[in-house]
Amino acid sequence: MVKSDPSTDKGEQTRRHIYATALTLFRERGFDNVTMQAVAEQAKVAKSAAYYYFPSKEAIIQAYYEAVQNEQDRVCEEHFAESSDFKKRVASAMHTKFDLTKDDRKLLGVVFRYTGEPAHPLSCLGKGTEAIRRRSIAIFERAIETERMPKDLQELLPLALWSLQMGLLIMFLYDESPNQQRTRKLADGTLDLSWKLYALTKLPVLRPVRAKITSLLRAAQFLPAV
């Protein structure tokens, strides 16, 4: 968030207007086929006005992604109120993201553009996106909080589920099957499998495996140090 937050209400209006106009155009013609000039013209502002609110063209997509995250938070909060079954909650969290983005897969793809460039402010795994990433993970924390489980799993699961979601999201983008059912089914299947494994967690044979996993991830700094 560099300087793209308007300080006054007027600014907020303009920002929203530019954002909405841009999204409409992106949806109609595709991100790369829409010029900032075109966005500005359609929104009846100068091109530099658009850049006053969004540091780059991709930043508009970032704003879109944040909007999606807001929606997911909202929708999941509702679902969570309805069910305390953590498996259902997790599944609904997972599917909600798909539901919300299914018509915007082209746009969503742009979010991944700087995945390999840690220093880029829009890198989806970088510092600049840490806040939204946390929120994304937090949904899974909330989803499983109805289930009593050992501390290590409680720490591990949200991260694991979030990673799964990221992976599936990419598959989702490539999935040409009608309604992306292939991805949906893989999501369901993987969760199903996870719960089976979760049930086996207490099994003596798997104890050392589980311990090893957490210690590995701790060493890799994916989990907080003990």
Query: Under the rule (CB under 7 A), what is the footprint of DNA?
Result: 6-12, 14, 32, 34-37, 45-49, 51-52, 55-58
Q: Nearest 5°: CA angle at 161, between 155 and 165?
A: 150
d(CA 97, CA 143): 14
CB of 142 to its own copies, least distance (A): 26
Query: Of 154, 25, 172, whose CA–CA distance to 96 is shortest?
Result: 172
Six token digits for residue 49: 């006005």
With binding defined as CB under 8 A, does residue 220 bind its own copies?
yes
CB of 83 to its own copies, least distance (A): 25
Q: Please compute, for residue 170, the number of CA atoms within 13 A of its CA located in the half-sphere on the CB side.
A: 9
Residue 46 binds: one of its own copies, DNA, none (C-beta under 5 to 8 A by kind) = DNA
φ, ψ (nearest 5 deg) of residue 224: -65, 145
Six token digits for residue 104: 């915007």
Interface with its own copies in residues 120-139 (CB under 8 A): 125-126
Residue 109 binds: one of its own copies, DNA, none (C-beta under 5 to 8 A by kind) = its own copies
Part of the chain binding its own copies (CB under 8 A), chosen from 6-14, 45-53, 77-85, 196-204: 196-204
Part of the chain binding its own copies (CB under 8 A), chosen from 49-57, 118-126, 135-143, 149-157: 118-126
Q: Please compute, for residue 22, the number of CA atoms within 13 A of its CA located in the half-sphere on the CB side.
A: 29
Interface with its own copies in residues 145-184 (CB under 8 A): 170-171, 173-174, 182-183
44 φ/ψ sector (left φ>0, alpha ψ -120 to 50, else beta): left
Burial level of 65, CB count in 10 A (0-12/13-18/19+)? buried
Binding residue for its own copies (CB under 8 A) from 52, 109, 142, 147?
A: 109
Residues that bind its own copies (CB under 8 A): 106, 108-118, 125-126, 170-171, 173-174, 182-183, 185-186, 189-190, 192-193, 196-197, 200, 203, 205, 208-209, 212-213, 216-217, 219-221
